[in-house]
């Protein structure tokens, strides 16, 4: 039996009264959770289940089912959503949560707990949206996940500052995705911390938590941090402390990160990685990206390749991200696959976005290639306060023309977006991702 599996088994030896999940007046301690895990494990073994699909926002149900599958060696499938077309394409013995034909559990009928069987060979299969919106299947072994948790604890709770036992971890992201699974659930649970029972929808919720808990860690998406209200102050010296804020799923600019840190009065650590690679690196304000200690890297044709105990396989894996390496780390330059051809000319979509954001009117920009009889670029723009003023003064048609005129000094005609649309919402989804499908839908 390998060390990571033993480490998972050791979790069941934690003090029985230790709180694992909190919902204010409602709490679930270690004894309660073990009781529930034992009940689900018994049903898994009785039904000889080999695979289970899990989709639920219920943190207690998710963690219980995850632990039970891990202890029984039942492969767990985590879909990105529970739409009918998506879930019908998945074959499994069991379905749990907000899914058709889902299992139900009556924990009151569970018999007294016997020592839990710690299984091996547990695999978590994650379906990601991918850059195109088409679901992509990624398999991660329990050993890989637990090795990554150990790295997070050593670096983010060690090198970057201590996180006292019993700290409350609250999240704005779902545990259905690798970032939420690791940062919101596994890391806190396996290191004696407390999980807030539901997703935080607004920053006002942070103030409520800080009024009740002495130490809080926020697991956030970039989109949430970008939406923070400038005049909102969630804590004072007489309340709890927001120890750390983590952000992953997309990159925050230094300007956006500094703004969010000032509003939250807390340090933000960005984490770079993917479902396939696991965590790769981290960075704080005005710093280059720093590799996690267990990650090896090399650059081929300007693209970052990595190898680590967290990767979905043991060989080198391309991140498909272009980087430039320096003595103090590396900087991300954008996706390798964001070079498109329009009318036989190669265009870097990121450069078009950079030229747009350089205008004082535009806060953020997403550019994609469309094909509707002919090929052309389209841009979805989040306006700054100055841009909103110009839009009201000039009207949409004239304002779009003025934007294109400004771009003409920097870009070839074919690289100037033919279609432009404005939005008041962040360009990333709730997981901090930008997908072609979502941008295309919002451009219509």
Express each pLDDT in 295-342 by its tens digit: 999 999 889 999 999 999 889 999 989 899 999 999 998 877 677 878
Q: What backbone torsions phi and psi does residue 14 show, to the nearest 5 degrees?
A: -70, 160
pLDDT in tens, 241-299: 999 999 998 888 898 899 999 999 999 999 999 999 999 999 999 999 999 999 999 99
Rounded to whole angstroms, how far apart are CA atoms 288 and 323? 11
Domains of the chain: residue spans and CATH = 3-245 (3.40.50.12780), 339-443 (3.30.300.30)
Rounded to whole angstroms, how far apart are CA atoms 299 and 11? 39
Q: Is the pLDDT of residue 389 over 80?
A: yes
Q: Which two structure tokens, joined as six digits, stand for 375? A: 């090929």
Q: Are 442 and 380 in contact (CB under 8 A)?
A: yes
Which of the listed ranges 292-306, 363-377, 424-438 does the model predict with the highest average pLDDT? 292-306
Average pLDDT, the chain: 88
Rounded to whole angstroms, how far apart are CA atoms 122 and 53? 14
Q: Is the pLDDT of residue 386 over 90?
A: yes
Q: Which two structure tokens, joined as six digits, stand for 64? A: 């219980």
Q: Is the pLDDT of residue 103 over 80?
A: yes
Confidence of residue 111 (pLDDT cuts 50, 70, 90): low
Rounded to whole angstroms, how far apart are CA atoms 184 and 177? 10
Rounded to whole angstroms, how far apart are CA atoms 340 and 349? 7
Q: What is the pLDDT of residue 3?
A: 38
Beta-bridge mates of residue 269: 246
Confidence of residue 106 (pLDDT cuts 50, 70, 90): confident
User: Which SS3 state, helix, strand or coil, does residue 438 take?
Assistant: helix
Residue carrying structure tokens 């074919």: 414
Q: What is the pLDDT of residue 375?
A: 84
Name the nearest CA neighbour of 391 among 375, 404, 403. Answer: 403
Confidence of residue 233 (pLDDT cuts 50, 70, 90): low
pLDDT in tens, 129-140: 554 445 678 999
Name the nearest CA neighbour of 367 among 399, 410, 415. Answer: 415
Q: Is the pTM of this model over 0.85?
A: no
Q: Is the pLDDT of residue 171 over 80?
A: yes
- Give the pLDDT mean for 26-30: 93
Q: Is the pLDDT of residue 128 over 50?
A: yes
Beta-bridge mates of residue 377: 369
DSSP assigned state of 341: E
Q: What is the pLDDT of residue 4?
A: 38
């Amino acid at each position: 039996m390998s060390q990571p599996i033993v480490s998972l088994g050791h979790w069941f030896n934690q003090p029985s009264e230790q709180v694992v999940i909190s919902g204010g007046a409602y709490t679930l301690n270690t004894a309660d959770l073990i009781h529930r895990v034992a009940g689900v494990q018994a049903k898994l073994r009785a039904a000889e289940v080999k695979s289970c699909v899990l989709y639920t926002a219920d943190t207690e149900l998710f963690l219980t089912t995850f632990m039970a599958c891990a202890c029984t060696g039942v492969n767990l499938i985590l879909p990105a959503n529970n739409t009918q077309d998506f879930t019908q394409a998945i074959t499994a013995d069991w379905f749990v949560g907000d899914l058709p034909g889902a299992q139900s559990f009556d924990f009151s009928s569970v018999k007294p707990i016997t020592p839990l069987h710690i299984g091996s060979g547990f695999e978590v299969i994650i379906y990601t949206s991918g850059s195109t919106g088409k679901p992509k299947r990624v398999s991660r072994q329990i050993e890989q996940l637990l090795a990554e948790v150990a790295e997070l604890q050593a670096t983010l709770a060690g090198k970057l500052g201590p996180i006292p036992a019993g700290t409350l971890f609250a999240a704005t992201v779902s545990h259905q995705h690798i970032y939420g699974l690791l940062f919101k659930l596994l890391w806190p649970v396996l290191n004696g911390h407390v999980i807030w029972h539901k997703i935080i929808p607004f920053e006002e919720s942070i103030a409520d938590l800080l009024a009740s808990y002495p130490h809080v860690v926020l697991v956030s998406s970039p989109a949430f941090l970008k939406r923070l209200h400038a005049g909102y102050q969630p804590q004072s010296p007489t309340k709890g402390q927001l120890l750390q804020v983590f952000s992953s799923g997309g990159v925050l600019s230094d300007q956006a990160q500094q703004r969010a840190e000032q509003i939250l009065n807390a340090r933000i650590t960005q984490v770079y990685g993917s479902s396939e690679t696991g965590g790769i690196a981290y960075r704080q304000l005005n710093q280059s990206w720093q590799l996690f200690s267990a990650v090896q890297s090399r650059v081929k044709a300007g693209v970052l390749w990595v190898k680590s105990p967290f990767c979905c396989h043991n060989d080198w894996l391309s991140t498909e991200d272009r980087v430039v390496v320096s003595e103090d780390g590396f900087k991300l330059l954008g996706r390798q696959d964001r070079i498109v051809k329009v009318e036989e000319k190669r265009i870097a979509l990121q450069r078009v976005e950079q030229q747009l954001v350089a205008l004082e009117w535009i806060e953020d920009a997403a550019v994609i290639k469309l094909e509707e009889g002919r090929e052309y670029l389209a841009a979805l723009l989040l306006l700054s306060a100055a841009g909103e003023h110009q839009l009201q003064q000039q009207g949409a048609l004239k304002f779009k023309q003025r934007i294109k005129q400004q771009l003409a000094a920097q870009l070839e005609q074919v690289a100037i977006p033919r279609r432009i649309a404005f939005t008041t919402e962040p360009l990333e989804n709730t997981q901090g991702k930008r997908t072609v499908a979502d941008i295309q839908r919002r451009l219509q």
